[in-house]
């Protein structure tokens, strides 16, 4: 059960507890956003309700004080993402965090094939968490193993894709919108999508548009939050 969010007032008690909607900028880790919020409002107990990769932008729910007890409730809500899958390329991170290592032609790919493959991702599917992820194995984040050049065996996880809309096709780019369950890796979808088409693919752009009923249009940028709530 989670508390319904209301727009925060300038005199809000962040120590007692508040959930904040932030539009995360590209290049920032989710932890960096948490650190910045903690520093801005001078509150020790701060956490986020669902990691966004550094190259992703969009909605991040930050909880302070007693509201951190609601984090798991926010995490369980369905998510909506928009972005771009770029075909003909692959990378170790499945996005542009690492350099593409393979390029293949995409001239034989058409809308019919793309929609046919899209349909295979609808419903309950299994994903193997990527090595470049925050999943812990033996107390260590997978991305730390990856940066050491190690590959760790991972168990597949079931996730639900309730909607997968192809917004526009501009090869090699496919513009999409996905509604999915907790724990879905959009990077893995991009990688697997390209593999099913036989040309490879990676995630070149990602934005989290919505978590449950909470939309990125309601969120503040880091700069807007600091200007409004900086602790003097």
Contacts of 206 (CB under 8 A, 6+ apart): 53, 55, 56, 57, 58, 81, 82, 83, 95, 186, 187
For 125, the token pair is: 């599917």
- Among 6-10, 61-65, 124-128, name the one with the lowest average pLDDT: 6-10
- Out of 11, 13, 23, 53, pick the active-site residue: 53
CB atoms near residue 119 (< 10 Å):
9
Span 174-224, pLDDT tens digits: 999 999 999 999 999 999 999 999 999 999 999 999 999 999 999 999 999
Match 């501009």 to its residue by tokens.
170
* All structural domains of the chain: 17-76+212-229 (3.30.2350.10), 79-211 (3.30.2350.10)
Would you call 11 a catalytic residue per the annotation?
no
Query: What global pTM score does this model have?
Result: 0.89
Contacts of 150 (CB under 8 A, 6+ apart): none
C-alpha 80/C-alpha 187 separation (Å) is 14
């Amino acid at each position: 059960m989670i508390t319904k969010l209301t727009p925060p007032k300038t005199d809000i008690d962040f120590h007692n507890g508040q959930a904040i909607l932030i539009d995360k900028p590209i290049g920032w880790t989710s932890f960096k956003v948490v650190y910045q919020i903690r520093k801005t409002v001078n509150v020790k107990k701060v956490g986020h309700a669902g990691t966004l990769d550094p190259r992703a932008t969009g909605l991040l729910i930050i909880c302070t004080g007693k509201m951190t007890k609601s984090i798991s409730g926010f995490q369980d809500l369905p998510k909506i993402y928009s972005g771009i899958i770029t075909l003909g390329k692959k990378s170790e991170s499945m996005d542009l965090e690492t350099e593409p290592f393979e390029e293949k032609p995409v001239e034989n790919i058409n809308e019919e094939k793309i929609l046919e493959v899209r349909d295979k991702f609808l419903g309950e599917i299994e994903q193997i968490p990527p090595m470049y992820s925050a999943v812990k194995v033996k107390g260590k984040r997978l991305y730390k193993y990856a940066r050491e050049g190690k590959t760790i065996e991972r168990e597949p996880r079931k996730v639900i894709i309730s909607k997968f809309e192809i917004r526009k096709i501009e090869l090699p780019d496919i513009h999409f919108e996905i509604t999915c369950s907790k724990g879905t890796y959009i990077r893995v979808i991009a990688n697997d999508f390209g593999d099913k088409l036989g040309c490879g693919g990676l995630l070149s752009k990602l934005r989290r548009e919505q978590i449950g009923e909470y939309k990125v249009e309601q969120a503040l940028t880091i700069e807007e939050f600091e200007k409004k709530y900086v602790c003097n």
